[in-house]
Structure 1
């Protein structure tokens, strides 16, 4: 109880909060993470191709049919709903306390909860572009292709999700804006991330404020640097925090 009260008081005392989150932010919404015991990388070990391989740029180019079968079945969760973490962050942004969300997720749940300043390091499933003519397509176009490679009706080019695959660089503008946001924060909340995916994980080193809160079920390389370490389910903890803040 003491940790949650401390967390709530720090939020009340802060006016420039930034949240840095990963896959663990969305597990309570029914979206599996990658590296935990129940994560995608563990449960898919029976496949002839490891998930890391299927989610690489070279595999996408060489075997788009297998890529999209995996992508549609494992990476798309359009019916997922925001949990307590997403909703509290959206409320803090509306109040002007939270200035940015820097996320490694591609699920769009922060936007569904009402957040606007969301910096998506790894892109989004909701943005898709034709590799031939750059025409934009929404998620429905990819879903509707079912067991086929989605192709542009205009030029027949392959429609690629605007997600960062292995072997691809991060968007430099998003990366710079994330660095700026974190470096100016007075409270950095890190949640649901193993802090092992680079270069995204290195962004937390730009924080120059006084208080860092780390919420993650499993140990991370940053545990000993956090001012407040919480090893509870992030959605539940944030919901309890919301109750303390707003009743």
Structure 2
């Protein structure tokens, strides 16, 4: 069965995506040869260390220097993959997007039900009084962003290393995957846990895996496509 046929015959599709969905919008991934982890050398520390909870608490100044220069791509626009998924949701076929990305491009494309496993750069909050701030506030702050009300440190609502995923987001994501007729996985190496383990909750027979490189789950896919996620979804949905 082709991807187009699966989509045409289903009204209960769930999409699970990773960094590869956004690379076509100009946002680099993390682990490829041209990704953030291999190209950022000037901090004399690994990005994993800088993006950890303990490092954030101990060195918020270095964290924010890295975060603002490396993790924020506010001019990025949704690509063909984001737009195709939003269109499928509007058609009543796609029930949920489960994403490991923090860029908010799915919502910008028009998607409504998006479960952000790793949070989003578009929400920020004071660690002391929980006052909310937008990303512009973070960008304009000199050094470490401080709360205007109480002076506390403002933290991005993203899941850092050493931090756990949001339980409500996990539950909603697993429920969607468990109930899905078609599960489309795209733009992810499926090497990052616990998120990669989520697909084990899918018990259907229409597991679609779209990724440019091989993944540990290729053999389990009912349909395997090694190609651009934007090209594949764009062609099928717009056809």
* Fold-level similarity (TM above 0.5): yes
1:206 aligned to which of 194, 197, 201:
201
Deviation digits for residues 142-191 of structure 1 (CA, Å, limit 9, x no counterpart): 0111x410000111100000000000000001001100000000000000
Superposed displacement of residue 242, structure 1: 2.2
Q: Is 1:157 aligned with 2:152? A: yes
**Distance in 2 separating the partners of 1:98 and 1:235:** 16
Alignment correspondent of 1:239: 234
- CA shift at 1:46, angstroms? 4.9
Report what 1:66 is aligned to: 62
How far apart are 1:243 and its partner, in Å?
Answer: 2.6
> How many angstroms apart in 2 are the aligned matches of 1:242 and 1:184?
22
Choose which of 161, 184, 198 in structure 2 pairs with 1:166: 161
The CA deviation string for residues 115-153 of structure 1, in whole angstroms up to 9 with x for no partner, is 0100000000000000110001111110111x4100001
- The alignment status of 1:80 with 2:88, answered yes or no, reads no
The 2-side partners of 1:10 and 1:35 are apart by: 31
**Is the CA contact (8 Å cut-off) linking 2:178 and 2:203 kept in structure 1?**
yes
Contact 2:209 2:224 in 1 (8 A): yes
Cα distance in 1 for partners of 2:14, 2:81 equals 13
Task: State the partner residue of 1:34.
Answer: 30
Q: CA deviation at 1:95?
A: 1.1
Deviations 1:90-132 (A, max 9, x none): 0111111100000000000000000010000000000000011
| Aligned pairs, number | 239
Of 84, 87, 105 in structure 1, the residue corresponding to residue 101 of structure 2 is 105
* TM-score w.r.t. length of structure 1: 0.95
Q: Which residue of the other structure, out of 79, 84, 91, is the alignment partner of 2:87? A: 91
Matches within 5 A, 1:2-21: 6-21=2-17
2:122 counterpart SS class: strand
SS of the equivalent of 1:26 reads helix
Distance in 2, Cα, partners of 1:235 & 1:178: 22
Gaps of 5+ in 2: none
The whole-number CA distance in structure 2 between the counterparts of 1:212 and 1:81 is: 28
Query: 2: CA distance between counterparts of 1:74 and 1:148?
Result: 15
Displacement of 1:47 in angstroms is 3.3
Give the equivalent residue in structure 1 for 2:115. Answer: 119
| Cα deviation digits, residues 18-40 of structure 1 (max 9, x gap) | 00000000000000001111111
TM-score (normalizing by structure 2): 0.98
